[in-house]
Structure 1
Amino acid sequence: MAKITDAKAYANNEVAYVAWDVDEMIPGCLGFEVTRVNLNPDGSEAVVDGKPDRHRCATWVGFKGQRNPNWLPEDAGIWPVQKLAWRDLTLRKKRAGLDRRPDEAFVRYEIRAVGDLKPGMLAAPDPTPYRAKVAKRDDAGKPIKGADGKAVMIEVPSYTGVPRPLGYIGEAVVTNDLHVTTRRGAFRSSFTNGVLAAQWLRNVLLADGRIEPDELFKKISNPEDPHRKYLAGDVLPLIHELFERPGTFHLGLYELDDRELQDLLLANATKIHVILSNTSAEAKLWDKRNAPARKELIDAGVDIQHRMFNNATHIGHNKFVVHVGTDGKPKSVFTGSTNWTSTGVAGQTNNALLVENPQVAEIFLDYWKRMKADALTVPDPFSTPMSASRQGKQFREDNATKASVVLTNGAELTTWYSPNMVERTKTKKLPPDLADVYRRMRLAKDAILFLAFYPAQRGTDCIIGEAIEIGRKDRALIVAGAVSSPQAMPNYVPKAKNDAGDPDDDDPAVSPHTFRDANVEIVRASRIDDRALLKDFGVEQLTAKGTVGAIIHDKVLVIDPLSPDCTVVLGSHNLGFKASYSNDENMLIISGDRALAEAYAVHVLDVYDHYRFRAIEAERKRQGKAGWSGFLETTDAWLQPYANRKKGALMRYFARG
């Protein structure tokens, strides 16, 4: 009998990724029910109010003929999963409301095939729509308010259309047990929830009937806003926890434009030593966004060095903190891709890593001291352009040597710093840090996964082009990634140099949303921008403020995450030549720590899978092709390409474990 063969689950501190496989076509299968089983630390099933603490995962897309106009969740046993993987986004975030589930949780999953209910089958959950209260809206979609000024609530069915009773096909398959935590040996890994192109967030912003200009940016800039806290995840609590430790803190920061983080630094004014770089030019004035925080730090008497480049060639792109204990010895270092801005902590996808290792902290502190010794001219006023400002020759030469530390679990952590090339501008010479990364990529046996902001135009001279080349040479290798900038896509075609922006220009830029070459697939961050295309899906936002800004801000590469020889690359480095030649950067390469590799792989899969669906739909629209209907299929034909191995290689890789 056809059945589910493998099922594995993986998690970081925010989401879980569950993958499974089938040995052949399962006749009549309309999808899979995925159930999360909460556990006690000893692996036994948790019990709440005398009942097993089990929850079918939430889904929002119904069968053809059914509608979900209020975007209300159903159980996966009613609207099943029609693929061989599932991201459990409600692992920490509840399906309704803004409460977060506690960390340090233990779970496992059960996957079970379902089909139309027939005699002799065990029935899946009753598909009768439940009743829910929603805001009453007028014909324009604006909530109707009562005399008290509050929205008038009405009771509606959770969905419309004819219910489709389902039954179980075969037994449930159980995954491995998971520990949901930020703690992994010497590491505390955390990730923001800053995916803004999401239906739940759209509904939040439309609660009053319209989305005001910069409404979302104002929300995520308010330290007390519950949606900001929801989007920031555990990153902000981790920063606060770090600064509660006794001792001093050495910071290397690019941007500082967040009220909560500014107040945290001011509260620790006597304990911090800050190297603060400049932000970009606005109306020909440099550092406008950092200026208020810079003044506050100066006025508070903080030990601060102003690392002002004030030109378009170089940036001080670091975002790290070294904690030094009361004994004067380095203890830990906090780094990653998260800028100390409101958009950084709550309006983009980002990662943060706390390394609890004195040797690594000492290496970072040495870099911080070398950076401070490489002092730049301070302009007066701070906004003055400085075309010749750049890092010194000795600083660059010192950065060209890596440092490695063997951790207690046998994993190796290697640090690189930038700039590490003598040349001021990019040449074709491969920088030493990227040479190290490329070497490890070429040893990949199973998978190369990545998230990138904008490492280089068209993916040249960066990890994107290298990953494509490696994938083309090894067609058994899975290469999958997501980028933020349209210009980073390998199939991007820039406008002609003489293009003056004429809307009738015959040679406009071509900005595809997807790149596919057999086993290689790259997508860029995209949104649903046409309500008519996907029925009950609504138009989404992509960035926190207008149409400008990073969406995916991670700089993450994961190689063979399920292998003992796994590798994770992270830090502030954008993973392209430009960063190595021009910017103050830090890069960590961690090899042999599978727990950390799995956590980062789940983050990559979460972001990649979310934007992959949207990118494919956007690309179909760009090409004038029909997209997905917006509904589940009503026959088992959807499973055929998975059963015959034409589809789902990434899912099968993780299902095998």
Structure 2
Amino acid sequence: MGQIVSANAYANNEVVYVAWDVDEMIEGCLGFEVVRIYLNEDGSDAMREGKPDRVTCASWVGFRGQRNPHWLPQHTGIWPVQKLSWRDLTVRKKRAALERRPEAAHVRYEIRPLGDLRDGMEPAPDPTPAPVRVVERDEHGRPILDADDRPRMETVDAYTGEPRPLGYLGPAISTKPVRVTSRRGPFRSTFTNGVLAAQWLRNVLMEDGRIDGDELFNKISDPEDPHRKYLAGDVLPLLHELFARDGEFFLALYELDDPELVELLLSHAERLHVILANTGQHDGVWDHRNASAREVLINAGVDIQHRMFNNATHIGHNKFVVHVAPDGGARSVFTGSTNWTSTGVAGQTNNALLIEHDEVAGAFLDYWHRMRADELAVPVPFGQSMSANQQSLRFRKDNEQPAEVRLPNGAAVQLWFSPNMQRRTKGTKTPPDLQEVYRRMRLAKDAILFLAFYPAQRGADSIIGEAIGIGRNDGRLIVSGAVSSAQAMPNYVPRDRGDPDDPDDDDPGRSPTTFFEDNVAIVRASRIDDRALLADFGAEKLVAKGNVGAIIHDKLVVIDPLSPDCTVVLGSHNQGFKASYCNDENLVIVTGDQALAEAYAVHILDVIDHYRFRAIQAERQAQGRRGWSGFLDGDDSWLEDYVDGRKGALMRYFARGRQG
């Protein structure tokens, strides 16, 4: 009889990723129960109301013959996990409420195999569905109102169908403790929860029986909306915390339109120094998106430089803030992929990193001053095209070498700034910042993980193409990633060549949603859009407004996250040639900090795992093939591919645990 032989958990400030492995088939295994155990500071089990504080993790998918019409969570002792990993998405968010638990939870996990209950087995929790109160709806899904125009409630079973009693097939195995926190030495690593293709969000929008065109965009644009606050995670609170500090702030921003962030800047107007770039062209006029915020900052007397390229070749793509203390010393820098827009903070996957280190902050401040000195002609009016506006050769020359900083914990930080090539349009020579990223990728021993928005068409001249090439040369290496743009997929077939460096959403060509080649797996952000396809799943949104836009906006590479020689690559840089040749960008490379690497790896795994299932479903649907039924398997056949090694390489890597 097989058994679980290893299990490990990894956390960032939003999600815990749990992975385990088995030595052989566990006969009759219908999945695994996953239990979260809260711990005291000394590592002992915490108590709540006189009992150990244990929470069986939530699950939403039942066995065939069972239905979940109200999309209510059961738990993994009733509907078990039929794979060898689990993302604990409710470690911060409560199952039945938007209230978020505070960070810094100290937890471990127990995983235990389950099968149909037989004589002599220890029974799992009673699967009888509990009575719950829900809104009564008509045949069109609209709430039925009472005489006071309030939704009428009714009592129903939490799920329908015959309960399936389960029992334990073996003992539980425990992970080591992990802490759910953003704090890792000099780093505060935070991630948005901006995955919009999600059933919980779809059900929120359907509360009134319909989804209006701009309903989601309006929600995420409202600073008081509770769903926006959940989707933004800790990114907005961290910015508020940063600006509460004494001193001055030096900002370089690409996009700025979020009402809460504009108001935050206005409340500190006299302490700001802002370089604000232009946004794209709309109806022939540039900078439509930033125009309102730009005017407000000007009227408030903010020290602002208008770094407006107003052409299709160059952009000021930074999104960073340097905090300078009252004594004049740079103390910290906030950077990452998060644009200061409502979609950036609450409608896309993004990351933000606060680095509390004088030397790192000082390098960013030096770059800010170099940009400030590299003045561009200011368009009059602001929306006028400026085809000649581009960075100077001197500015490019000054960015050719990185800043290098050694941290107290032994980790190293290398900082690159763009543009750093003398040529002003994209060329064929690999820029120095990407040469360094590629060099580190080629040293990978176990895994290369990445998230990308749109570094280049078909992933060429970018980290996507490089990762695929490295994976092809080393079949033992795990290469796994997710991309946002259809045109960034390596198997994309363009309909019209156009400009391969600029995504054209009106000319998508043919883009599969998956790229699987032996040890290389890449998926594209996708949604469930066929109500009849999967049992109780409903059609999801993919972007906040319209049909196009960034979905995965991260620009991340993590190399060997469980090794002391791990590397994290992040920043505003899209990690393709054009960013280095043409744009104002920052690229941060952190080597040797396992805690930070694990936090970023969890974010990447979270995004990949969410979209992988949807991408496979979309691919099968496009090919006219049958997809997943929407139900748990009724026997142990689901486990065979994991035991045979045909599936689960990534899970096994994380199940093995840390090295060194």
Q: TM-score, normalised by structure 1?
A: 0.98
Give the aligned partner of residue 486 of structure 2: 486
Residue 149 of structure 1: CA displacement?
A: 1.3
Amino acid in structure 2 at the alignment position of 1:56? T
SS at match of 1:413: strand
Give the 5 Å matches for 1:237-316: 237-316=237-316
SS at match of 1:450: strand
Give the aligned partner of residue 449 of structure 2: 449
Give the 5 Å matches for 1:209-608: 209-496=209-496, 509-608=509-608
Q: C-alpha distance in 1, partners of 2:509/2:261?
A: 39
Give the aligned partner of residue 33 of structure 1: 33
Q: C-alpha distance in 2, partners of 1:39/1:640?
A: 35
Give the aligned partner of residue 170 of structure 1: 170
Amino acid in structure 2 at the alignment position of 1:19? A
Amino acid in structure 2 at the alignment position of 1:516? F
Q: Which runs of 4+ in 1 moved over 3 A?
A: none
Give the aligned partner of residue 24 of structure 1: 24
Q: C-alpha distance in 1, partners of 2:244/2:26?
A: 55
Q: C-alpha distance in 1, partners of 2:489/2:496?
A: 17
Amino acid in structure 2 at the alignment position of 1:602? V
656 and 477 in structure 1: CA distance in 2 versus 1, 3 angstrom threshold: same
Residue 156 of structure 1: CA displacement?
A: 0.9
Q: C-alpha distance in 2, partners of 1:311/1:496?
A: 22
- Which stretch of the first structure deviates more once superposed, 295-304 or 149-158? 149-158
Q: C-alpha distance in 1, partners of 2:119/2:82?
A: 23
Amino acid in structure 1 at the alignment position of 2:347? G
Give the 5 Å matches for 1:80-99: 80-99=80-99
The superposition leaves residues 19-48 of structure 1 with CA deviations (integer Å, 9 ceiling, x where unpaired) of 000000000100000000011111111111
Give the aligned partner of residue 190 of structure 2: 190
What residue ranges of structure 2 are gaps of 5+ in the alignment?
Answer: 499-506
Amino acid in structure 1 at the alignment position of 2:427? T
SS at match of 2:124: coil
The superposition leaves residues 231-266 of structure 1 with CA deviations (integer Å, 9 ceiling, x where unpaired) of 000000000000000000000000010110001100
Residue 148 of structure 1: CA displacement?
A: 1.4
SS at match of 1:321: strand
SS at match of 2:134: strand
315 and 496 in structure 1: CA distance in 2 versus 1, 3 angstrom threshold: closer
Residues 486, 508 of structure 2: 8 Å contact kept? no
Q: C-alpha distance in 2, partners of 1:293/1:526?
A: 32
SS at match of 2:170: strand
Give the aligned partner of residue 651 of structure 1: 651
* 1:626 counterpart = 2:636: no
How much identity, in percent, do the aligned residues show? 70
Residue 508 of structure 1: CA displacement?
A: 8.3
SS at match of 2:261: helix
* 1:10 counterpart = 2:20: no
Give the aligned partner of residue 502 of structure 2: none
Give the aligned partner of residue 638 of structure 2: 638
Q: C-alpha distance in 2, partners of 1:599/1:497?
A: 38
Give the paired residue count: 650
Residues 487, 508 of structure 2: 8 Å contact kept? no
Give the aligned partner of residue 79 of structure 1: 79
Q: TM-score, normalised by structure 2?
A: 0.98
Amino acid in structure 2 at the alignment position of 1:267? S
Q: C-alpha distance in 2, partners of 1:476/1:531?
A: 39
Amino acid in structure 1 at the alignment position of 2:552? I
302 and 408 in structure 1: CA distance in 2 versus 1, 3 angstrom threshold: same
Residues 136, 154 of structure 2: 8 Å contact kept? yes
Q: C-alpha distance in 1, partners of 2:646/2:460?
A: 29
What residue ranges of structure 1 are gaps of 5+ in the alignment?
Answer: 499-506
Amino acid in structure 2 at the alignment position of 1:362? G
SS at match of 2:269: coil
Give the aligned partner of residue 67 of structure 1: 67
The superposition leaves residues 504-549 of structure 1 with CA deviations (integer Å, 9 ceiling, x where unpaired) of xxx9821100001000000000000001111100000000001121
Amino acid in structure 2 at the alignment position of 1:573? H
Q: C-alpha distance in 1, partners of 2:560/2:508?
A: 39
Residue 145 of structure 1: CA displacement?
A: 1.1
Residue 497 of structure 1: CA displacement?
A: 5.0
SS at match of 1:122: coil
Amino acid in structure 2 at the alignment position of 1:262? V
SS at match of 1:257: coil
Residue 496 of structure 1: CA displacement?
A: 3.9
The superposition leaves residues 474-513 of structure 1 with CA deviations (integer Å, 9 ceiling, x where unpaired) of 0000000000000000000000459xxxxxxxx9821100
The superposition leaves residues 432-451 of structure 1 with CA deviations (integer Å, 9 ceiling, x where unpaired) of 00000000000000000000
Give the aligned partner of residue 501 of structure 1: none
The superposition leaves residues 66-104 of structure 1 with CA deviations (integer Å, 9 ceiling, x where unpaired) of 111111100100000000000000010111110001111
Q: C-alpha distance in 1, partners of 2:636/2:51?
A: 34
Give the aligned partner of residue 502 of structure 1: none
Q: C-alpha distance in 2, partners of 1:287/1:267?
A: 24
Amino acid in structure 2 at the alignment position of 1:186? P
Q: C-alpha distance in 2, partners of 1:533/1:422?
A: 52
Give the aligned partner of residue 135 of structure 2: 135
Give the aligned partner of residue 112 of structure 2: 112
SS at match of 1:170: coil
The superposition leaves residues 439-476 of structure 1 with CA deviations (integer Å, 9 ceiling, x where unpaired) of 00000000000000000000100000000000000000
Amino acid in structure 2 at the alignment position of 1:201? L
Amino acid in structure 1 at the alignment position of 2:16? A
SS at match of 1:92: coil
Q: C-alpha distance in 2, partners of 1:301/1:602?
A: 42
- Pairwise CA RMSD of aligned residues? 1.0
Amino acid in structure 1 at the alignment position of 2:636? D
Q: C-alpha distance in 1, partners of 2:50/2:33?
A: 24
355 and 645 in structure 1: CA distance in 2 versus 1, 3 angstrom threshold: same
* 1:161 counterpart = 2:132: no
